[in-house]
Amino acid sequence: MTTAELQELMEDDCTLRTVYRDLEQLALAGFPVFNEDSRWRLLENGEGAWSVPIDPTQLLALALSVDLLDPLRGTQLAQPLEDLQRRLLAMLTPAGRAYVAELGKAAVGTLFAPGEYAAHGATLDAIQEAIAKQQQLRICYAPPKRTSADRVVEPYCTWYAAGRVYLIAFCRKREDMRTFAVQRIQEAEVLDIPFDADKSFDAASFARQGFGVYHGPIYHFVIDFTSEVSYLIRERRYHHSQRVMEREGGLRLVMDAAGLPEVAFWVAGFGGNAKPVAPAELVDAVRKIHIGGLKELGE
């Protein structure tokens, strides 16, 4: 049925524009309404997952993605995925939806200590707008243990890591690329000032340099682990550059990464089962962490 035919069935004051708008809203809401060659059609009860190319396992993968974006629920970053999931589920028959629900019990996505972003929707919206328009962004940023201060940045992308969102941007004050935790941005305002993005900058490569989200100088790290914890190192990839070598009594991890403070806390977390070998800055940092812990315990 065409929109013109639908309009004829409506009241006299219903415009063609209203028909278009309402049909689009129904589709966005997840109802099985589709536009094919300028004609709108409604999936009938006999139609569903097998009349359109949707595999229930694909919906399961989508549901798992939605789970992993749970900290961003209701924000501009996660809402489109939730809308897509709802629309695809609407294409399935009741039996198909029941099958997907049953499949969903076989896979659950969780994150350890994710951020809370329900109150940061306006900030995320401003960031996305500034990125899309390639305009400068003024932020009021509050680093840990320091007072907040205004900064003007040139935003390149948002970075979602371990359930937390960061803004990768060129800081005009520092004249360098910086990573800003979104939950520490108290205010964000899109400025009517365009900027020319550095086309040579690769945000993905920038994100992969650090151990976690810390950045700074890149160090050549060498760390020895005892046999007590060696299985953890073998089973996981902590950094894309890591190399693992077996040694008597355990193994050795070698990697080239930024983020010395985060590496130091990670190594110290293994207690006596991890020994920093290089660089000297890592050895000193881990030693200070252990000494500080002993002082807190009164030893």
Can you give the pLDDT at residue 255?
97
For 217-268, write each residue's pLDDT tens digit: 999 999 999 999 999 999 999 999 999 999 999 999 999 999 999 999 999 9
CA distances from 181 to 36, 91, 165 (A): 44, 38, 6
Can you give the pLDDT at residue 263?
96
Do residues 88 and 62 lie in contact, with contact meaning Cβ atoms separated by under 8 Å? yes
Can you give the pLDDT at residue 31?
61
Can you give the pLDDT at residue 199?
92
Question: Domains, the chain, ranges and CATH?
Answer: 3-104 (no CATH), 118-209 (2.30.30.520), 219-296 (3.30.70)
Can you give the pLDDT at residue 103?
78
State which residues of the chain have pLDDT below 50: 46-51
pTM score, whole prediction? 0.73
Q: Left (φ > 0), alpha (ψ -120 to 50) or beta: where does 125 sit?
A: alpha
The amino acid present at 126, given as its one-letter code, is: A
Report how far residue 81's alpha carbon sits from residue 88's, in angstroms, rounded to the nearest whole number: 11
Can you give the pLDDT at residue 6?
67
